[in-house]
Amino acid sequence: DIQMTQSPSSLSASVGDRVTITCRASQTIRTYLNWYQHKPGKAPNLLIYAASTLQSGVPSRFSGSGSGTDFTLTISSLRPEDFATYYCQQSHSNPLTFGGGTKVEIK
């Protein structure tokens, strides 16, 4: 199974900050990497697919990069509605696996 490791597991940031979350795969997954935002009690929301493609309707302050084993999600200027937990997910091979999550909290 492909293990996905996210860092940090949590971070505190202020509105307007630039935030970067990293995700590392235990083996190469090319660009089969997706990012989700999840708020408590809500349905998760797809932000980025294929490592760097912005899902329709997602604000352009979100961006993704990387290939192979190392990936990043960047929020260019944090908004109040961005405080949530973010997950990466590999879609290279079964079983599909998620990273452990990064909780973005208000400083």
Partner 1 sequence: QVQLVESGGGVVQPGRSLRLSCAASGFTFSSYGMHWVRQAPGKGLEWVAGIWFDGSNKYYADSVKGRFTISRDNSKNTLYLQINSLRAEDTSVYHCAREVRRDFDYWGQGTLVTVSS
State which residue, 12 or 53, has the beta carbon closest to partner 1.
53
Q: Would you say 36 or 62 has its CB closer to partner 1?
A: 36
Name the minimum Å distance from CB 9 to partner 1: 10
Output DSSP code: residue 12: E
Provide, rounded to whole angstroms, the least separation between the CB of residue 44 and partner 1: 5
Task: State whether residue 80 is helix, strand or coil.
Answer: helix
Q: Please provide the DSSP assignment of 15-43 as one string.
A: TT--EEEEEEESS--TT-EEEEEE-TTS-
Task: State both tokens at 77.
Answer: 């200027």
Closest distance between partner 1 and the C-beta of residue 91, in Å? 4
Are 19 and 27 in contact by the 8 Å Cβ rule? The answer is no
Residues that bind partner 1 (CB under 8 A): 1, 32, 34, 36, 38, 41-46, 49-50, 55, 85, 87, 89, 91, 94-101
